[in-house]
């Protein structure tokens, strides 16, 4: 907390700081709720093991927020005019939105529809931005071929007991490799590069506590060039089943078909006009792609000994990978006629 207090000095905050407490459930950064006698803020320390180029994160956020849209929570500038301040680590300060929440699971259709409208509005807004002005903050972040290479090196150098335990998951990883080939085909067909959020899991959107209505999109770390299938797909991955990523009971994972329909309709209601046919026709494939890539990433991290994602119990990455593969099978059998 001392570090947070020190880093806060880069900003002109309102009021005297009363309390600083850990907040939220992100897998990567450290987040704190800061309370002063006048206001509440969120203060976040960027994980520099994961984000090795904070200057790129800063550049992207600056380019995005130029448009001054209420799609995003208010980000505060430091006294030096940057969004990211240096203390011990790299920090950023935003408003804390008291009457909103970030849903960890989709508990009703209204939440899904509202979140999807929000990300649809983001897609429309981002259509007015030049993707060349944005940089990938993590190289090849959603590149499945590169993720499969990382898996291969974990297969060669991973922890032996974990390699044994994960045999079943490894064979599932092999059986879905066609997803990567299909994406290459779509790219060759002219899938356009857009400015994307690239981390559109449900809890990166804030909904009103009162009526679930969409409020804001949060977590701009991975903003950058991408395909709309990534953004639609990650929201689909995190909303079709009622379960959390680390659900222990696999039987609880299920696909709610009405949620998939609601998700697609709500998304298109905001941005259909600017999407190309190849994008609209393959939104469901985006769900498969993102579920597969997350299965691969969790599996790789499990085999490597949990070096990337925060974990709270020994086999958490195994459980996360297992759940993503289960979800992948279910999504595949549900949407295969549409993708
Ligand atoms: C990470 O930071 P957080 O929790 O929003 C990850 C995403 C994954 C997600 C899975 C930089 O997101 O790519 O989809 O976990 N972010 C990074 O829950 O790796
Ligand atoms: Mg994040």
The overall average pLDDT reported for the chain is 96
Region of poorest pLDDT, from 1-5, 45-49, 186-190, 332-336: 1-5
Residue 35 has pLDDT above 70, yes or no: yes
Query: Sheet harboring 214-217: ordered strands across?
Result: 100-101, 205-208, 214-217
Spacing, Cα 28 to ligand 1 middle (Å)? 7
Which of the listed residues 24, 27, 47, 202 should we mutate to test ligand 1's pocket, taking the one with most ligand atoms within 8 A of CB? 27
pLDDT in tens, 291-312: 999 999 999 999 999 999 999 9
Model confidence at 339, pLDDT cuts 50, 70, 90, reads very low
Q: At what angle do helices 109-127 and 257-271 cross, to 10 degrees?
A: 30
Q: What pLDDT shows up at residue 25?
A: 79
244 lines ligand 1 (CB under 6 A): no
Spatial separation of the C-alpha atoms in residues 318 and 306, rounded to whole Å:
10
Residue 338 has pLDDT above 80, yes or no: no
Q: What pLDDT shows up at residue 112?
A: 98
Task: Using CB atoms within 10 Å of the CB of residue 311, give its burial: 0 to 12 exposed, 13 to 18 middle, 19+ buried.
Answer: middle
Q: Which residues contact 132 (CB under 8 A, 6 or more apart)?
A: none
Model confidence at 337, pLDDT cuts 50, 70, 90, reads low
Q: What pLDDT shows up at residue 26?
A: 84
Q: What pLDDT shows up at residue 283?
A: 98
* 242 touches 107 (CB < 8 A): yes
Q: 27: left (phi > 0), else alpha (psi -120 to 50), else beta?
A: alpha
Spatial separation of the C-alpha atoms in residues 70 and 121, rounded to whole Å:
11
**Which atom of ligand 1 lies at the shortest distance from residue 290's CA?**
14
Task: Using CB atoms within 10 Å of the CB of residue 273, give its burial: 0 to 12 exposed, 13 to 18 middle, 19+ buried.
Answer: exposed
201 lines ligand 1 (CB under 6 A): yes
pLDDT in tens, 155-188: 999 999 999 999 999 999 999 999 999 999 999 9
75 lines ligand 1 (CB under 6 A): no
Q: Percent of the chain scored above 90 by pLDDT? A: 94
Spacing, Cα 245 to ligand 2 middle (Å)? 15
Residue 257 has pLDDT above 90, yes or no: yes
pLDDT in tens, 271-296: 999 999 999 999 999 999 999 999 99
pLDDT in tens, 59-116: 999 999 998 789 999 999 999 999 999 877 899 999 999 999 999 999 999 999 999 9
Across 129-142, average pLDDT: 96
């Amino acid at each position: 907390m001392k570090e947070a207090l020190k880093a806060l000095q880069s900003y002109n905050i309102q009021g005297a700081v009363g309390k600083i407490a850990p907040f939220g459930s992100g897998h990567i950064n450290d987040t704190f709720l800061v309370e002063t006698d006048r206001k509440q803020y969120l203060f976040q320390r960027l994980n520099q093991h994961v984000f090795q180029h904070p200057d790129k994160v800063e550049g992207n956020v600056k380019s995005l927020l130029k448009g001054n849209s209420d799609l995003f929570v208010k980000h505060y500038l430091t006294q030096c005019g940057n969004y990211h301040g240096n203390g011990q680590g790299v920090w950023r300060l935003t408003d804390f939105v008291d009457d909103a929440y970030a849903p960890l699971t989709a508990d009703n259709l209204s939440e899904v529809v509202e979140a999807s409208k929000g990300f649809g509005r983001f897609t429309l807004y981002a259509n007015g931005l030049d993707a060349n002005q944005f940089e990938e903050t993590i190289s090849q972040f959603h590149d499945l071929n590169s993720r499969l290479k990382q898996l291969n090196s974990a297969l060669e150098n991973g922890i032996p007991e974990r390699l044994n335990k994960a045999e079943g998951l490894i064979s599932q990883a092999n059986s879905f490799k066609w997803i990567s080939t299909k994406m290459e085909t779509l790219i060759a067909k002219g899938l356009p590069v857009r400015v994307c959020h690239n981390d559109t899991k449900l809890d990166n959107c804030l909904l009103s506590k009162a009526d679930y209505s969409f409020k804001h999109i949060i977590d701009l770390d991975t903003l950058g060039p991408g395909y709309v299938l990534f953004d639609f797909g990650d929201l689909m991955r995190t909303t079709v089943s009622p379960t959390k990523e680390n659900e222990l009971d696999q039987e609880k994972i299920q696909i709610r078909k009405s949620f998939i329909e609601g998700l697609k309709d709500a998304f298109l209601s905001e941005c259909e006009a600017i999407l190309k046919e190849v994008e609209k026709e393959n939104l469901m494939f985006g769900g498969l792609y993102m579920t597969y890539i997350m299965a691969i990433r969790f599996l790789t991290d499990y085999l490597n000994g949990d070096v990337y994602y925060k974990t709270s119990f020994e086999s958490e990455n195994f459980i996360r990978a297992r759940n993503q593969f289960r979800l992948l099978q279910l999504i595949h059998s549900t949407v295969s006629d549409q993708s």
